[in-house]
Structure formats: structure tokens, C-alpha cells
Structure 1
Amino acid sequence: MKGVENSYPKEDQKLWLAFLSGDEESYTQLYKLYIRHMYRYGTSLVTTSDAFVLDCIHDVFTELWAKRSRLSVPDNVKYYLLKALKTRIMHLLERKERSFKPLSDVDFEIFEPNDLEILEELDSANSRQERLKILIAQLPNRQQEALKLRFIENLNYTEIGNVLEVNTQSAKNLVFRAIEKLRGWIVLPFINFFYIFLA
């Protein structure tokens, strides 16, 4: 995260700068701007209730307000908030203040679904988007998280690596392996759009 020497080309960075100066309206706008992104990402990390994720989001924003005088302006506000949320969630889980587990710790069946099972699920889907969700749900959790961070949250590979605590190349590998696995299960034209983002 860099300091205020950046020219703040993005609207969210302008809001952040105003929030740092104590502007409550800008603080509220940042919350409204990113609550859905943070909720979506938070619920992909843990098997838990909506209330737990929302509590963690509120904790993040409460801490931001309390520490605003010591913060600088991030290059990517969304990345900063998603990483802060993950840190908060994992901190609570490690302290065992909550009885919830991260998805990576949940005991799933160790076999992979076969092509017939996937095709049966795809048959019941009503749209390409539903079919894609079915396929992504078959991936290992870290590959799912990497895909979501890349294609839903639009983070770059360095930022994904920081969130997942791996290097940039490992982040690229996670995304690439996920796409290769999707293509291996069933080759459909709508999957090909992912390759545009790998250049």
C-alpha cells in the first residue's frame, strides 16, 4: 500500500482520502460501495451464517474508522478491503471465538465427480451462468477462491497471491489449473472467455 504521493485516479481512492480526513459521508459511501463484494467473498471463505460474515465486515469498517489517522491510501481499495476481511475472519477462527470452519478445513468427499454426474447436473441448469457455477463448484476450494478473486473481484495475480498467501506465479498456476480442469470435464464455448484474462 502506497502513500498519498499517488494522484488518486479512482473515485474510490478519492472517497478513501476524504474518509481519512474524517468525512463520515465518504466513509458511508465506501461501505455501500463494497459491502456486497465483501459479503460475497466472505461467504465463499467459510461455512457459516450470514451474520458471522456481516459481523466481520462491520468489524473491519469499525477498525478502519478508529485507525483512520494512521492509514494511507491503498492502490486498490477493493483488494485492501477483501484482504482485511479475510484477515479478520481467519483471526476469529484461529482464536476459536466462533465454531465455524474455513471451507478449506471442511471434510468433503475426496473423490472427484465423474463426467456423467457433471453432465446430469448441467442438464438441469437453465442458463450458461448456472452451468458455469455447477462446474466451478466441483473445483478445490483454493482454485475456486483464486477464480473468484480474478474474474469476479478483478484482482491481479500479485494481489491474489497476497490474499492467498502465495507468490504471484502460484496464483497464476491456481487459476490456470482451475481452467484446465473445467475444460477437462466438459468443453463448452462459454468457458473459453477465461483465457482472455490469462495474457
Structure 2
Amino acid sequence: MNNKYTDEKELLIGLKSSDEHSFDMLYKMYSKRLFHSILLLVKSEQLTLDIIQDVFMKVWQRRHYIDTEKSFKSYLYVISNNFVKDYFRKVSKDQKMKDYYLNQGIDSFEGIEPSLAFKETNQLLEKALDTLSENERAVFVLCRLEGKSYSEAAEVLGLSSSTVGNNLVRATSKVKVYLSGSVMFWALIISSL
């Protein structure tokens, strides 16, 4: 590899000046990392590949605005998180897609027996998650629902571990307040004991 392209900052400078080789190198550096984090959320390899394509298309389109002094990794995760959020907004309006994702969760769920209780809990939790900021939601999903550590979530989101911790505390508090009056909340708590 040419030494000119070994430093990320130099690659970003190249990208800003429309150097396709710099763009390709950045794609190679980050596409696999993005793939794994997006796949955890959308559960579809093809959809994950489509989102990655959209993310890097957006990077190319906005290349002149990239700040070479800021974390490119964080920039990518913000863009990809926005695409994932947009996708789930569309899914929430499409009953077939809702059913597909709900069934994905039910197939792998071994806690509460009746699927109706799971559906109600899942819908209630989704409403609670809608009250969170983008970062709070991402941290909550990664740490509470997927069981990732603070450091793993920090790496996926391009945040510090302390920022992840702060977001998780706020998110957990908001979710508890939202769910505290619900019978389904207590069923969920009891089933996790």
C-alpha cells in the first residue's frame, strides 16, 4: 500500500478532494465494522448491505463537508444509525414488515410463553424506546437488549465508555418511568428473574 494512504486523516483529505482511491480505502477500513453493527439491528444481510451502500453514497455526496479533525468512525455511525432509524420508521408503517420482525423476535424468544404477551411487551417497549434520543436508544438496545458491555457499545457507536454509561442511565430511567404503570412491564421483570 502506498504510504500516502496509510493515515486516516490523509485519506479524509483525499476524500474531500474527490480522490476515489481514498474513498475506496475508507470503505475497506469501515464497511465490515458497519456490517456487523447494522446486521445486529436489522437482522437481514441484504438490507445491511443496502444500508452500507447508502451510507457510503451519502459520504461521497457530502465529502466536501467532512471535518478531517473529527472522528470519521463516529460520523459513519451517525449516518448509518440515521438510515437504520429511517428504515424502522418505514417498517412501523408496514404491517407485513412489523409482523416479520415480530416473528423474528418470537422465534428466538424463550421467556414468556404466550406470544400475545410477548407482542404486547414488545409494542410497549418500542413505544418507550421512541421517547429516547438517538444515542440513548442505540445505547439501550446494545447494552440492555443485546447484552453488550459499555466498551463494546462504545466501539460500535464511536462513543466513549463514559458517554455510553451516561446515556444508558438516562435511557433506563426514561424507559422505567414510561413502563412503570404497565402490567406488561411487571410481567417482563418477573420473567427475567
Q: TM-score, normalised by structure 2?
A: 0.53
Residues 42-64 of structure 1, C-alpha deviations (whole Å, 9 max, x = no match): 112222x2110010011011111
Task: Work out whether residues 39 and 53 of structure 1, in 8 Å CA contact, stay in contact via their aligned partners in 2.
Answer: yes
**CA pair 173-91 structure 1, distance change in 2 beyond 3 A:** closer
| 1:26 pairs with one of 22, 26, 37 | 22
Judge conservation of contact 1:60–1:88 (CA < 8 Å) in 2.
yes
The residue number in structure 2 matching 1:156 is 160
Alignment coverage as a number of residue pairs:
129
Runs of 5+ unmatched residues, structure 1: 1-9, 112-138, 162-167, 175-199
Report the AA paired with residue 16 of structure 1. L
CA RMSD of aligned residues (A): 3.6
Between 1:66-75 and 1:17-26, the stretch displaced more is: 66-75
Once the two structures are TM-superposed, the CA of residue 109 in structure 1 deviates from its matched residue by 4.6
> What displacement does 1:150 show?
3.0
- 1:170 equivalent to 2:170? Answer no
More helix by share: 2
Q: Is the 8 A contact 1:39 1:57 kept in 2?
A: yes
Aligned to 1:46: 42
The residue type equivalent to 1:86 in the other structure is N
CA contact (8 A) 1:37 1:153 kept: no
Structure 2 counterpart of 1:82: 77
Give 2:144's aligned residue.
Answer: 140
Identity of matched residues, %: 21
Partner-residue secondary structure (3-state), 2:148: helix
Match of 2:32 in 1: 36
Distance 1:149 1:140, change over 3 A: closer
SS at match of 1:140: helix
Question: Which consecutive residues of structure 2, in runs of 5 or more, have no partner in the other structure?
Answer: 1-5, 113-142, 172-193
Kept in 1: contact 2:35–2:48 (CA 8 A): yes
